[in-house]
Structure 1
């Protein structure tokens, strides 16, 4: 067991926290796994309550991708019999299957960036199951000023807000990324906020759509629609790290939300 600065990103084997490359952590050579320093401190001080499990960013999307991939391969093997292995090797993945891996990678990358703010009083819960539903919340960030519900998307193209009406006609706002209409993503974040808010009604809740690999302009380009911020990972980080002046008990809010919204 050796404490070191990680050359590669990893995941704490105890609490599931994503540990970015360059972060101090404990490397266990026998099992080739890592532990975060928070879990190390807990192991050295048994009287300290264990940290709430933060979850693993993109875990449920990764599992769904593996399930679909295995099902697709099984279908090919059954269809081609003895040539099934060759058919699998030569066939491209179905787009509907590949999309789950794309989403998992986006969540993982954003999750690692969010975890890098831990030393600034920000706590993040990743990939949380919505009770009574198969849906999940990608990330929940808790700052001294409030809670952020964050949906991560790995879409190509430039995010834009198209506004119509507003004078003689009702005003409508449409979120577009490249050629893709994404207004339903805003509805999804608002629904997640509605599910979370009753559990902590006195705490402010903000929504964000974070496009990980979008074609953002060099300066600006960020906006909000219906109260939901549409941002890049860098911009999201700036918004979160500004919220350090509040009086919220971050650890208590984390524990309440972790108990309700379990890891997906």
Structure 2
């Protein structure tokens, strides 16, 4: 499945909406940025920053397709307005990886401190908890006995202390792996010990039935 990038689309929509209307278009033509446009551009820039990380992750995991992995991008979170950045079905058909991409400050190290994930001095544990919630919801939605769902966070930009972290999350009985892009594909490629194409295809078919493509709704900038 070709990667769609809803973050980039959302950023473009924000910029366009802020410039909608005759007066706004006239000001834009004159090179004038109103407060509304400046606010929209600031928010859109953050979305574009995240979109760059998602696009890079999609490029990296594409290599796993030739190894039997089934790869999906930008799926709607069941019962939520959120989206799943990436979802992968292992070649053995016994694991589903819920993969969230982040782009954090490259001048700050990501580390564990008091069992919480920090990027420099910023507490980012809430993003670890979020991907764990996504994994739990995906597991309930798929409802496939014998299939384990793994939450994984890939961090672009910020270096990770020790190369990788094994974090804990609230209401998640297991580990949330936090990796840099260099560790992502080798870690996943090493995971399956056997291949079961029929079982993997059945899991992928279930994913396609219950997890639909994400279509972002309009966002207003006041």
Distance apart, 1:95 and its partner CA: 2.5
8 Å CA contact 2:68–2:195 kept in 1: the answer is no
- Listed as ranges, the gaps of 5+ residues in structure 2 are 169-174, 215-222
Corresponding position: 1:229 with 2:177: yes
Residue-by-residue CA offset, 1:60-103 (whole Å, 9 max, x unaligned): 1122111111123338x736x744321149x8663322111111
Higher relative contact order structure (alpha carbons within 8 Å, sequence separation ≥ 6): 2
2:148 and 2:18 map into 1 onto residues whose CA distance is 44
1:114 to 61, 83, 93: 61
1:251 and 1:176 map into 2 onto residues whose CA distance is 38
Distance apart, 1:247 and its partner CA: 5.6
Residue-by-residue CA offset, 1:15-41 (whole Å, 9 max, x unaligned): x42xxxxxxxxxxxxxxxxxxxxxxxx
2:98 to 132, 141, 149: 149
- Listed as ranges, the gaps of 5+ residues in structure 1 are 1-15, 18-55, 164-172
- Relative to the length of structure 1, the TM-score reads 0.68
The 1:82–1:205 alpha-carbon spacing in structure 2 relative to 1, beyond 3 Å, is closer
2:131 aligned counterpart, secondary structure: helix
1:162 and 1:83 map into 2 onto residues whose CA distance is 48
Residue 118 of structure 2: aligned partner = 176
Distance apart, 1:194 and its partner CA: 1.2
Residue 27 of structure 1: aligned partner = none
Distance apart, 1:131 and its partner CA: 2.6
The 1:110–1:82 alpha-carbon spacing in structure 2 relative to 1, beyond 3 Å, is closer
1:263 aligned counterpart, secondary structure: coil
2:87 to 121, 125, 140: 140
1:224 and 1:196 map into 2 onto residues whose CA distance is 21
1:246 and 1:224 map into 2 onto residues whose CA distance is 25
1:132 aligned counterpart, secondary structure: coil
Which structure has greater helix proportion? 2
8 Å CA contact 1:121–1:244 kept in 2: the answer is no
- Relative to the length of structure 2, the TM-score reads 0.79
Residue 111 of structure 2: aligned partner = 160
Corresponding pairs, count: 196
Residue 241 of structure 1: aligned partner = 189
Residue 15 of structure 2: aligned partner = 69
The 1:236–1:84 alpha-carbon spacing in structure 2 relative to 1, beyond 3 Å, is closer
1:105 to 47, 52, 67: 52
Structure 1 runs of 4+ with >3 Å offset: 81-84, 91-94
